[in-house]
């Protein structure tokens, strides 16, 4: 479904940041206990339940009430939007799990319990949203979405179990598109909204999702900077409907824009792992955690599904 990122995901993550034992290179800002502290478990459990519950209630009121309800049903959207929506599900489950894992470090629970509780929280939250989709006439329960949610959680959990760190991170970037054709412009306003935040989070044509790999983590004896990453990105363009570019507007007029090619885009670029930059300042550590959710603008090589090769001096 189009507005998956507008469903308070980032509000949830931002709220958690103020409670995290934020780390730079695994050096905590707050004291991490050596043994389990029951009072902290109750505190973190309550905070997590309140955040997730409040977000779901707000989502249900702000979004699903706009559309008719129906019985539980399935919907196969695997072939739509060049799978950019699935990338969004992977990213959201990964990022929520990553932040929640850090939150649970504060409790002093055994390491593996922290990882599993934190990692599965993102998957659980996304799964509840998928159930809400299943009762909306506009969408339905998507096994493709659930698979993407599981993939995001698995990426986070597996790295924590293997390395106790995220050597391969998921990141997001978006650069708003400007559409000159008046019909396309009206269509994009309808689908993606008019404001910059809406366009950033809804317009699949403007988004890129990245796998950002920390080189020094895989080659600790090298002279590579600890903060240097190499990122592989995926995006798409030319999409104004899920599976084709034919639609009927609110006035009943049919528009056929299938002449606009729907293309996939693949990127290669350097990146920065901000949490690998040493600092003792808590404010900077918190800022670095937030910045690490996003891909750093850098010179980029692009290859499209049409076989075109492009170079960008700066790409975000």
DSSP symbols for 2-30: TTGGGTTHHHHHHHHHTTS--EETTEESS
Nearest residue to 164 (alpha-carbon basis) of 23, 19, 270, 18: 23
Check the CA dihedral 49-52-58-63 and report its sign.
negative
- For the chain, residues with pLDDT lower than 70 are 1-34, 61-63
Query: Can you tell me the distance from the alpha carbon of 245 to that of 243, in angstroms, rounded to the nearest whole number?
Result: 7
Query: Can you tell me the distance from the alpha carbon of 172 to that of 10, in angstroms, rounded to the nearest whole number?
Result: 12
Pair 232, 267: CB distance under 8 Å: yes
Q: Which tens digits make up the pLDDT trace of 172-190? A: 999 888 888 999 999 999 8
**pLDDT value at position 31?**
60
**pLDDT value at position 138?**
81
**pLDDT value at position 62?**
61
**pLDDT value at position 60?**
72
Pair 171, 271: CB distance under 8 Å: yes
Pair 279, 255: CB distance under 8 Å: no
Please give the DSSP secondary-structure letter assigned to residue 176: -
Provide the residue ranges of all domains of the chain, joining segments of one domain with +. Answer: 1-166, 167-316
Structure tokens at 61: 């009121």
């Amino acid at each position: 479904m189009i507005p998956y990122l507008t469903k308070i995901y980032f509000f949830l993550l931002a709220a958690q940041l103020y409670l995290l034992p934020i780390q730079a290179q695994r050096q905590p800002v707050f004291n991490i206990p050596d043994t389990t502290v029951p009072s902290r478990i109750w505190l973190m459990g309550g905070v997590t339940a309140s955040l997730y519950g409040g977000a779901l209630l707000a989502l249900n009121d702000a979004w699903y009430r706009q559309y008719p309800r129906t019985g539980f049903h399935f919907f196969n959207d695997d072939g739509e939007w060049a799978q950019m929506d699935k990338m969004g599900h992977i990213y959201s489950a990964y990022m929520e799990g990553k932040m929640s894992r850090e939150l649970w470090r504060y409790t002093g629970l055994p390491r593996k319990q922290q990882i599993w509780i934190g990692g599965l929280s993102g998957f659980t939250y996304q799964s509840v949203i998928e159930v809400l989709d299943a009762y909306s006439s506009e969408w339905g329960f998507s096994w493709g979405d659930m698979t993407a949610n599981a993939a995001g959680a698995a990426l986070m959990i597996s790295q924590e179990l293997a390395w106790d760190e995220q050597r391969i991170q998921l990141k997001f970037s978006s650069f708003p598109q400007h559409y000159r054709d008046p019909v396309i412009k009206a269509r994009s306003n309808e689908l993606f909204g008019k404001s910059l935040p809406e366009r950033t989070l809804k317009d699949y044509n403007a988004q890129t999702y990245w796998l950002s790999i920390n080189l020094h983590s895989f080659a600790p004896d090298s002279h590579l900077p600890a903060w240097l990453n190499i990122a592989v990105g995926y995006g798409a363009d030319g999409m104004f409907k899920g599976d084709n570019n034919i639609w009927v507007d609110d006035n009943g007029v049919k528009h056929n824009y299938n002449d606009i090619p729907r293309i996939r885009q693949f990127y290669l670029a350097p990146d920065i792992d901000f949490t690998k930059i040493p600092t003792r300042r808590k404010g900077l550590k918190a800022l670095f955690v937030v910045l690490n959710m996003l891909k750093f603008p850098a010179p980029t090589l692009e290859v499209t599904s049409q076989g075109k090769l492009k170079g960008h001096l700066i790409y975000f």
